[in-house]
Structure 1
């Protein structure tokens, strides 16, 4: 069940050890222990699949009774066996030298005791070896057959995964068996070639589109119908969508747009305003042929009590993705009456269809051209890309120019004498912060402690969702997961990457590093992909210091690194950052920038079989599920142009 979107809504769209206890036997060991040893040695059923006893789990006569013995005399479960009994019987019948009766009895008993002791020791030795073998199997220890380098890397991965399993109550949903299989597969295939299409987009159909949202075919809007104030909420990416929608709204209502403001959020806790993130002058000038934009209201309107005169409209007053007709009917009269309207908490409140062609193109023009980061963000973003690529001679391109401006060229000139080496990297957006986890209403293996923690978070940050839970019967966490409505966990994400064929040498950049569960939740990722980095460990404290305590500005650095990556993988296709990043890669990528969009419903059905599925089958199913999402398609009706810019309003066909 998808929860209605709001500006603070982050969603837009163990192996147990089997213990053996030995009871005090009411019968002599000649019955129970022999049956135990022989039944285990002759059994072909793995221990984990053997049926449990009907009564007590203790190893006693009720479990190993005489009735269970084999009819084959060679495998009789009598402790000494029929052969021993027959041997003793024949010995008794043999002729012996005449001795005193007492000496003969003593000698016979001593021989029997010695033989029994020997067989007992042999049986105990076999039992101990059998138990040790089962314990190794239960722990899923797999050893490569050859190559010392492979063995060393596999052992190091297993050690990392063991530490992961010991963290905070055997942390969450850890897929221990599948992670061990993934570690073994990566260790064995460290020299194998990756799948050919891993770093590629279907080039021919993808390259048949080129960006053209910068083309205009209308006269400037004079903005005579008053002023529109917009206060956008949410994180940086939601604010970006709100700004683009506000630009379109200003053109629709022939009004003047005041440079948007950003609402302080208790979730994001960032006081950054528009000019702290985007180039204000570029925004105003670039869109001047489309709409009129000013930095603030005229003096005569600043003193008005907008609430008293009815000029404040909140997001609760406007339904999600309202049509243009709603604004013409309900908002324009307010502007004409009072000269100004304040859209408070404005977000995704404008529909994608139906909307006139030129207004849709204006939407794309604002997103892909008008909003450029301030020089401070561009400069640090260029440095981040340089460190990620490890290639000072990277040619860059239109996308680099849009993201970091002239700083990309400056770094290339500065380092042109250094040796060049090619390096590509995969960017992974782990949308697994606490706000996303809490809002999803899913469970992630943390038990009662996790449920209490997330419920407390919801009560503070998502009170409407808490109230909805109390008044409405919502789908269970299991139902949500089966429908693909839960974000992928870090463990699921790394299993997906390993199944797709990314090898251990892959450079991985992780965006959204404030992972719910802390560093222990990233152990699975770092164990399988040791060349994993975040902006926090790539940039020095001095380089990061200007952005500390400004989550939106830090998000801008993640945006740059993800958008410019050689391949980009998302774990939640509904998140705003993933949607915007994938759209930019389509718009500027020229068909050469693949994006991995997992079908979470399909993956959920695969992950539910994690205790039995083999690695080869897992690989095949994951690759098939992800390959289908890489198909080149035009924008589906009513879907976001920010995410799907392949449409006539944003891009043009070259064929």
Structure 2
């Protein structure tokens, strides 16, 4: 789609190799280092758990790894709001993710309960006198249809608390994005942060594989970063244990979350240059997987692919992602960890990317089949490995800022990165405007505009009203600013 720009990028990268000029985007703005983690700080006046317990909250969370992580921490805040005991959340089986993993398969249960014990009582199961109850029959089953998205505390106090007081238990089924960010008492925001950034530790099996994954990509410096320690725990090596490990990779790497899976691009209704064959494939997929979308399209005005792209609604292609990285000055030899499910179009679709950046690795190429075997058929556990590799990368780049993985990873990097964990967020609408000049724009102009776009997305600011505290933890309830 962008042959001319690809050629300009190739020439520019070759020139940079000769000049040995590093990209400025390996570093964050100095203002980022002024914010420090403090969601686990001890209060001068210890609030503790309330004396009165109004009952038990059960949560069965839907979605994949990252949606479920948000649901867990929202459930912690909700239990505190309602003065209730939280039963360790369960994960619903999804026909999309097809992963039967439960909480204890991914996170350390005892650690989670212990970290939160001063604020919220968490138990592994209901007491015996409540186990025999038919939750639905007594009216205590609450689905996502009963609670609006990003509901406010008053919604739970008026709709859920009376049921809790009456029956002693409520079961929230789905609980997808069902607690808003504002207005919310500061103590509940702090609980969310403490849960997400301190209480949820991956199980040793995942930590060990994650540590191995990172060591296969890069050398470890003697200094151990807080990010790495938080994610891989005791499996963080001070230095490579084997000589071949130390010779395999560079000292730095960039992680890229490239959202270009068939479900996403089919749902977008955009054209990706694959001709009639691609159009037929995506339409067939839509008819099979998105019947509600097909029905809606019958009764709405159609929008052309070019209009969708100009509005910033089209997923970035691998080619576009590579052009952005080239525009930011990342060298051709940069090691890039690719986090994604199956890229639509496979290797042929990735050719435009690997022609500019050949050092592309994934968890499947870095780990042996036997090392990956314990995670096969467990998509959430595999996603946890991607989470670790992305969060601990020297630079993290995303192509879709709406992705839950990208959101949580960028928040984790903000919280623990100490101002040394840059994240790159392209503005798809602005990028579309730049790329629309593909046939005429000069490379210097392309570079300037892409860099300005990314720099604006890296501005250091306090979380705005209604914004996710998981993604933007620079907030008094979550982080402390030093002077």
Range class of TM-score, shorter chain: over 0.9
Extract unaligned runs of 5+ from structure 2. none
Change (3 A) 1:418 1:253: closer
Alignment deviations for residues 528-582 of structure 1 (CA, whole Å, 9 cap, x no partner):
1111111110111111111111111111001000100111111011101111111
Contact 1:253 1:328 in 2 (8 A): yes
Out of 192, 202, 216, the residue aligned to residue 29 of structure 2 is 202
Change (3 A) 1:226 1:419: closer
Contact 2:217 2:253 in 1 (8 A): yes
Cross-structure match for 2:233: 405
Out of 14, 32, 41, the residue aligned to residue 215 of structure 1 is 41
Between the aligned partners of 1:563 and 1:575, the Cα distance in structure 2 is 14
Out of 620, 644, 655, the residue aligned to residue 448 of structure 2 is 620
The count of corresponding residues between Structure 1 and Structure 2 is: 479
Q: What is the deviation of 1:435? A: 2.2
Q: What is the deviation of 1:419? A: 6.6
Contact 1:314 1:345 in 2 (8 A): yes
Q: What is the deviation of 1:463? A: 3.5
Q: Does 1:293 align with 2:140?
A: no
Between the aligned partners of 1:473 and 1:223, the Cα distance in structure 2 is 55
Higher Rg of the two aligned structures:
1
Q: What is the deviation of 1:188? A: 3.0
TM-score of the two chains, using structure 2 as the length reference: 0.94
Q: Which has the higher contact order (CA 8 A, sep 6+)?
A: 2
Change (3 A) 1:339 1:468: farther
Cross-structure match for 1:528: 356
Contact 1:222 1:292 in 2 (8 A): no
Cross-structure match for 1:335: 164
Contact 2:113 2:122 in 1 (8 A): yes
Q: Is the partner of 1:558 in helix, strand or coil? A: helix
Change (3 A) 1:488 1:245: same
TM-score of the two chains, using structure 1 as the length reference: 0.70
Q: What is the deviation of 1:450? A: 2.8
Q: What is the deviation of 1:376? A: 0.3
Q: What is the deviation of 1:510? A: 0.7
Q: Does 1:514 align with 2:338?
A: no
Q: Does 1:182 align with 2:16?
A: no
Between the aligned partners of 1:221 and 1:484, the Cα distance in structure 2 is 47
Alpha-carbon RMSD across the aligned residues, in angstroms, is: 2.0
Q: Does 1:651 align with 2:471?
A: no
Give the 5 Å matches for 1:387-536: 387-389=216-218, 391-409=219-237, 412=239, 414=241, 423-473=251-301, 475-536=303-364
Q: Is the partner of 2:36 in helix, strand or coil? A: strand
Q: What is the deviation of 1:287? A: 0.6
Cross-structure match for 1:543: 371
Contact 1:232 1:239 in 2 (8 A): yes
Change (3 A) 1:464 1:224: farther
Out of 264, 273, 282, the residue aligned to residue 111 of structure 2 is 282
Out of 545, 554, 572, the residue aligned to residue 382 of structure 2 is 554
Alignment deviations for residues 351-387 of structure 1 (CA, whole Å, 9 cap, x no partner):
1111001100100110000111000000000001111
Extract unaligned runs of 5+ from structure 1. 1-173
Q: What is the deviation of 1:623? A: 1.3
